[in-house]
Amino acid sequence: MKTSQLLLALLLSASLVACGEKKAPEAPAEAPAESVAPPVPMAPEEGVAGHVEGLTPEHAAPAADGVAEDGHALYAAKCTSCHGQMGEGVGKNPKLAGLKVADIKAKVADYRASKQMGAQTAVMAATAKTLTDAQIDALATYIGE
């Protein structure tokens, strides 16, 4: 009888040990685009050097309320980390320098409307949704030709 009690105690112990076992979560093979962190804003003084045509601090668009939005500061804060200080593009992020003002406005408006535009749509949509129409105008005027 002692053998059966011992076997029962071992079986119960093994069950309890198995229940308490913690497994490490499996890392996904490739992170989906939605899990990409938004770009970290930069202070305006760290941003665009303004040596490339279309990316100079003198560019600014008037806001709807009459206050000028500073395209340079907006670009430095919202765009530089992914598109480069001169709009040259960083990594898989596209070059912005040389684009037309109307094209930039249209693309940012599409991102703001959550239209699927490519692999970085989630990041761009999150950024674009924080921009007002006046800020989009200022950025497009600053970046575009």
Residue spans of the domains in the chain: they are: 39-143
- Rounded to two decimals, the pTM is 0.55
> Cβ(17)–Cβ(23) under 8 Å?
no
What's the pLDDT at 104? 93
The predicted-structure confidence for 37-87, as pLDDT tens digits, reads as follows 455 444 443 333 333 454 555 544 444 444 445 889 999 999 999 999 999
What kind of architecture, by CATH, is found in domain 39-143? Orthogonal Bundle (1.10)
> Cβ(49)–Cβ(119) under 8 Å?
no
What's the pLDDT at 41? 46
Task: Please indicate whether residue 84 or residue 145 has the higher confidence score (pLDDT).
Answer: 84
What's the pLDDT at 3? 74
pLDDT class of 29 with cuts at 50, 70, 90: low
Residues 6+ apart with CB under 8 A from 59: 71, 72, 138, 141, 142
Task: Please indicate whether residue 95 or residue 40 has the higher confidence score (pLDDT).
Answer: 95
